[in-house]
A and B are shown apart, each in its own frame.
Chain A
Amino acid sequence: MSVEQLTADPDLEASARTPLWKRLAGDPQAVITGAILTVIVLVGFLGPFFWTHDPNAADLNYANALPGDPNRPLGGDQNGRDILARLLASTQTSIIAGLIGVIVALLVGVTAGLVGGYLGSKTSAVTEWLFNLVMTFPGILLLILLMPVTGGDYRVTMVIYGVLLSPAIFRIVRGLVIATKGELFVDAARVSGLTDTRILARHILAVIRGPIIVASAFLVGTAIGVQAGLAFLGVGSSAVPSFGSMVSEGFTNLYLRPMQFLWPSITLGLITACLILFGNALRDALEGGQKNVGGRKSRRPASSARPLEPIPSEENALLVVRDLQIGYPASDGTVRPVVKGVNFTLNKGEILGLVGESGSGKSQTAFSILKLLPAEAVILGGSVWFDGINLLEASERDMQKIRGRRIGYIPQEPMSNLDPSYRVGAQLVKSVRATTGVDRKEAKARVMELLERVGIANPERVYRSYPFQISGGMAQRVLIAGAVASRPALLIADEPTTALDVTVQAEILDLLRDLQKDLDLAIILVTHNFGVVADICERIAVMKDGRIVETGEAVDVFDNPASAYTKSLLAAILDESTVRADRPAALAQKQE
């Protein structure tokens, strides 16, 4: 009975179920750094069983001994202690220090993060305040100042440092828990009667464990670095071998025996570098690298160059789209087309409805007219003729002159399309000035006039408001004002009423109709809603799978759809004749 398809993205399917370790095994960075770290840990802990020299045994016979001596293979330090034995012992110290720090940070941070995130907002506020307090402690300084308390034991010091690190974990966990808690699947689990602990363990921890593992890898590195740094300063017992104290001693002896400095530095640097690189690989495996969207370049393959194409000269035509093709790069290096040869003509002052379901390519088509496709989009071919030029070949500078002035844009989601940091008036004044170059005073006057024109009852107040202080319907009116500010000839409206309530939708459609008449606008209205199309559009183009399957006068398409797809869409509409007729089973039985 299902006509839907499984998601057509094979990479997504493949990556979805591959376990984490398998994805890591395929990443050379993870494999190499992971192997190095494993070797270092093994050598640090097993090495002393094979090389049993006491790392603290001083023997002045070997003071500053050169490497190569059978008793001091890597040489001796200034007290004649065995550098190899000290390196092995220091590795152990480092690893233990790192683990203590991270385990304490995880215990404190995860527990508090789960509690603070999951329980009520007041508990949450209190825990957050407490951890802000911990963050304000001057960490390393505090560890030094607390020497009278710790007695110089590096393990106690690392416990305290773990607490100081815990806010980092706490913040991650709390943020994720709060975000996850609002997810509906947690509500669904609650409706099923799952206990809080089970919800936390099964639903929330499962989602947030990835970022915690990544953060832990980095924190081990931080903790090891801090332990070494403290030992370098001399905080801690001299009986515990540590990279820090070795570096410090090597530093004083630098000119005589540079190797004494190099051995611990290289090992320490290798451990921290591997931890960070491994953490990065882990993060990439878990969330996929953050790709750059960039702003400027729009790649154009050679196939789009068709210089000899004549300018279509249809009478009254404002916009002519010919064989438009747009694609997106897939992970296998090919470009997957999403718009596959779209043709249509828009006359002056005409309202065209571009209708289709999600993924039909209708929005991509609309954005290509403004040349505001995402940076990774590739225009594979075709032309968009407007004002006698092919917009697909226009430069960014030319487009700047066309956008706003000749072609306006009304977006779908009113709130996210206003800059949250500027007052409504300031945003509009800026765009008016960008397109017309009038001075601030005149721009303001024009904006006030526009706000009134789009039906805002109190323009003065809205002018001074921030976007989050006005309603969605009001924000959509503001965006319409912005779109028509420079009296464009063409408006691109991308689902302009989809995010609004029906009563507001009706008013916005009234406004668009009014403006269209007043300004003699041509409008391309992208929508999935046939009611909206019926209300405002004169002509319809139905899109499916990157192609236009049917174009025609609105009434004709509704009354006599030509394509099977349009027919099936129209059949799926619940109109006023679809009223539930059967009675509830229980009541019906009773009456029989």
Chain B
Amino acid sequence: MNPLLQVNNLHVAYPSKKFFKPALEIIHGVSLDLAPGETLGIVGESGSGKTTIGRAVLGLAPVTKGSIEFEGKDISHAGKAERRKIARDLQVVFQDPYSSLNPAMAVGDILSEPLVTLGATRADARRRVRTLLDQVGLPHDAADRLPREFSGGQRQRVAIARALGPKPRLIVCDEPVSALDLSTQALVLELLLDIQRETGVAYLFISHDLAVVRHISHRVAVVYRGEIVETGPAEDVTLKPEHPYTQRLLLAAPIPHPVQQERRRAERLRLREQQREQHEQTAVGLSRA
């Protein structure tokens, strides 16, 4: 089966703000693939470059090397017109539900604008907006309201509805639940899972939270300092990781139970000692060589 998205040896570098300074490379050769209807979780800490990978797929980050094939076509350097075509199949949900919706536009306009851009008539767009609001569990009168009248979780539902608008095949979800409260987070994740089962959309799901990624992903890739250090089925990577960094990540995430967490903490401290010793040995080995 052909992958929906295939990223090969991706490099991303931002040009320096100052004149005559070299560009700063954020992503150093990342490869990944994603099947239709699948969720690939990308997990990493701040500054790891996980968000940049998503932005590169969306055409929001400068790709300096490598390719991003979507439905078999390289879109790493797609122009505006081509992007508009891709937009039908590739959409996004961002982290911050406050800044991802234009505060000056009513929700109905926010939802219909991408549809109209893609060639829908106003009447069609309006009908579709109603369906979308139903789909994400918002009342119809939401269309006439401004984003600031909604809570964080509801805004995130609006953002999801916007992404669903053109019936895409892939949605890049960039930390979509990190800004939400615990109970809201669970509801939004449930919504995303329901939608995937109904529509067969694929998710590139970016998060810093191993538990969230474990819950929603079929497969998981771990990003560390601009590279993928480990990929595999969600259960393997998030519960029995092989790479030392993923191990550190897993053991650092506290378990929400005092007794289990005490055990987890002891395990983490043991791993830290172990990795430190290994590190010292390699350092000694290197200095001898």
Q: How far is the CA of A203 from the CA of B103 in the complex (A)?
A: 9
Inter-subunit contact B113/A531 (CB<8 Å): no
The reply to whether the CB of A35 lies closer than 8 angstroms to some CB of chain B is no
Q: Quick one: which of B94, B144, B185 has the most chain A CB within 10 A?
A: B94
Q: Which of B15, B162, B212, B259 contacts A188 (CB 8 A)?
A: B162
Within 528-542 of A, Cβ neighbours of B (below 8 Å) are at 528-535, 537
- Residue B83 at the A interface, CB < 8 A? yes
Q: How many A-B residue pairs lie within 8 Å, measured between CB atoms? A: 231
Chain A residues closer than 8 Å to B132, beta-carbon distance: none
A188 touches B150 (CB 8 A): no
Check: A3 CB closer than 8 A to any chain B CB: yes
A191, CB-defined interface residue at 8 Å: yes
A531 to B258, CA, bound (A): 8
Indicate if B24 sits at the interface (CB-CB under 8 A).
no
| Interface locus among A86-94, A164-172, A272-280, A574-582 | A574-582
B222 CB, nearest partner CB in chain A, Å: 13
| Alpha-carbon separation in the docked complex, A505 to B45 (Å) | 11
A396 at the interface (CB under 8 A from B): no
- Asked if A517 is at the interface of the complex by the 8 Å CB criterion, the answer is no
Closest to B138 in A: A2
Q: From B25-33, B246-254, B280-288, give the one contacting chain A.
A: B246-254
B35 within 8 A of A: yes
Out of B1, B101, B191, B216, name the residue touching A580 (CB < 8 Å). Answer: B216
Q: Closest chain B residue to A359 by CB distance?
A: B181
Query: Do A357 and B113 touch (CB < 8 A)?
Result: no
Query: A188 contacts B94, CB within 8 Å?
Result: yes
In contact, A501 and B46 (Cβ under 8 angstroms): yes
A121 near B: Cβ within 8 Å?
Answer: yes
A564 within 8 A of B: no
In chain B, positions 107-129 with a C-beta closer than 8 Å to chain A are 110, 113-114, 117-118
* Alpha-carbon distance A44/B22, docked complex (angstroms): 60
Measured between beta carbons, the chain B residues less than 8 angstroms from A574 are 186, 189, 211-212, 214-215
Q: Which of A125, A191, A502 contacts B91 (CB 8 A)?
A: A191
**Whole-angstrom distance between the alpha carbons of A319 and B231 in the complex?**
50
> Across the interface, do A357 and B211 meet the contact criterion of CB distance under 8 Å?
no
Contact A586 B60 (CB under 8 A): no
The docked-state distance in angstroms from the alpha carbon of A587 to that of B34 is 12
- For A569, what are the chain B residues with a Cβ–Cβ distance below 8 Å? 182-183
Indicate if the CB atoms of A580 and B215 lie closer than 8 Å.
Answer: yes
Q: Is there contact, CB below 8 Å, between B254 and A357?
A: no
Q: Which range holds the interface residue count of chain B?
A: 35 or more
Q: Which of B95, B99, B200 is close to A586, meaning CB atoms less than 8 Å apart?
A: B200
Chain A: CB-nearest residue to B194: A1
CB proximity of B248 to chain A, nearest CB, Å: 6
Question: A192 to B255, Cβ gap below 8 A?
Answer: no
Docked-complex contact B183 and A579, CB < 8 angstroms: no
- B238 nearest in chain A by CB position: A579
Q: How far is the CB of A519 from chain B (nearest CB, A)?
A: 20
Closest-CB distance, B20 to chain A (whole angstroms): 11
Q: Bound complex: CA of A49 vs CA of B3, how far in Å?
A: 77
Q: Mark A507-534, 1 if CB is under 8 A from B, else 0.
A: 0010000000000000000001111111
Partner of A579, one of B46, B144, B187, B234: B234
Verify if A389 is at the interface (C-beta below 8 Å from B): no
| A579–B210 alpha-carbon span in the complex (Å) | 11
B184 contacts A by Cβ under 8 Å: yes
B38 contacts A357, C-beta separation under 8 Å: no
Cα–Cα, bound, A557→B159 (Å): 36
- Contacts of A125-146 to chain B: CB distance below 8 A: 125
Contact present for B254 and A531 (CB under 8 Å)? yes
- Residue A441, interface by CB 8 Å: no
**Chain B residues near A193 (CB, 8 Å)?**
80, 83-87, 114, 117-118
Q: How far is the CA of A189 from the CA of B187 in the complex (A)?
A: 26
List residues of chain B with CB under 8 Å of any chain A CB.
1, 15, 17, 19, 35-39, 45-46, 55, 58-60, 80, 83-87, 90-92, 94-96, 99-105, 110, 113-114, 117-118, 137-138, 144-146, 148-154, 157, 159, 162, 181-187, 189, 191, 196-197, 200, 202, 208, 210-212, 214-218, 234-235, 238-239, 248-249, 251-261, 265, 268
